Structure 1
Amino acid sequence: MAKIIAQIILSGSQVLGRAFARALKQEYEASQEAAKMRGRTSRRDPRSERAGITLDEAKQILNVETIDDPKLIEERYKKLFEANEKVGSFYLQSKVFRARERINMELVSSQSNDGSKTKGPDLNQK
């Protein structure tokens, strides 16, 4: 009787071991494929690299559709920054700050691309 139980346990562990190895292999292949896909994407925007956030993420964080209205951006920034200051969430404050910083980079870049010499809104002031 003990011999049969030992064989059942051994067979079960072999089946589980093979299933685990197969799942691990599939996960490894999926991660390799994802790494290849990341390598094939277009060059990353250097402004996103510096700020650590994309323009789309920044717009989502500040809940704005476009970056055409600096007053709205500043208003949303102040509201979110102060709300998270009361709660004590440094992480969320930094996300809000980085979002405003990224949008400011885009505004400065678009002004320099337009060739205009006028200085845009200074979103770095608190």
Structure 2
Amino acid sequence: MAAKILANLIVMGSGILGRAVFQAYRKALENASKNGVAHEAINNIRRPSKVLTEQEARQILGLSEQASWEEVLQKYDALFERNAKNGSFYLQSKVHRAKEALESVYRGDSTGTS
């Protein structure tokens, strides 16, 4: 009888401990992603040496010089979402910076092509 009670306590205890570890892991992942966003917001001050050139931005997004603004947005959305789900925050921020750099190029062009 005591062995059965002890076995039940061990099984229940390990289940509770397993759930607690899993919840702590999920919370740590949430906090890590929040810290990345906060870190990016803090470092969002533009410095001339950190601004991408048009050529670098096109390379990051994989676009040719004849790409339209719609193609830029499609590539941006696809790459940004892919890195948001299972990629890195660093690559996601590079994709965002590339779109910002190309946005200034396309802003002066009303037709949407360069």
Q: TM-score, normalised by structure 1?
A: 0.46
In structure 2, the partner of 1:28 is none
How much has 1:67 moved relative to structure 2?
Answer: 5.3
Larger RCO, structure (CA 8 Å, separation 6 or more): 2
Aligned equivalents of 1:92, 1:70: Cα separation in 2 = 21
In structure 1, the partner of 2:106 is 107
Aligned equivalents of 1:94, 1:67: Cα separation in 2 = 24
Q: How does 1:14-53 map to 2 (within 5 A)?
A: 49=48, 52-53=51-52
How much has 1:106 moved relative to structure 2?
Answer: 0.9
Letter matched to residue 107 of structure 1: Y
Aligned equivalents of 2:49, 2:97: Cα separation in 1 = 10
Unaligned runs of 5+ in 1: 1-47, 112-117, 122-126
Residue 81 (str. 1) matches residue 84 (str. 2): no
How much has 1:49 moved relative to structure 2?
Answer: 2.6
8 A Cα contact 1:67 1:103, kept in partner:
no
Unaligned runs of 5+ in 2: 1-46
Give % identity: 36
8 A Cα contact 2:61 2:76, kept in partner:
yes
In structure 2, the partner of 1:97 is 96
8 A Cα contact 2:69 2:106, kept in partner:
no
Deviant stretches of 4+, over 2 Å: 48-51
Aligned equivalents of 1:62, 1:72: Cα separation in 2 = 10
- Larger Rg belongs to: 1
In structure 2, the partner of 1:69 is 68
Residue 57 (str. 1) matches residue 70 (str. 2): no
In structure 1, the partner of 2:18 is none
- Cα RMSD after superposing both structures: 2.7
How much has 1:68 moved relative to structure 2?
Answer: 4.3
Q: TM-score, normalised by structure 2?
A: 0.50
Aligned equivalents of 1:106, 1:79: Cα separation in 2 = 21
How much has 1:99 moved relative to structure 2?
Answer: 0.3
Change (3 A) 1:94 1:69: same
Aligned equivalents of 1:50, 1:82: Cα separation in 2 = 27
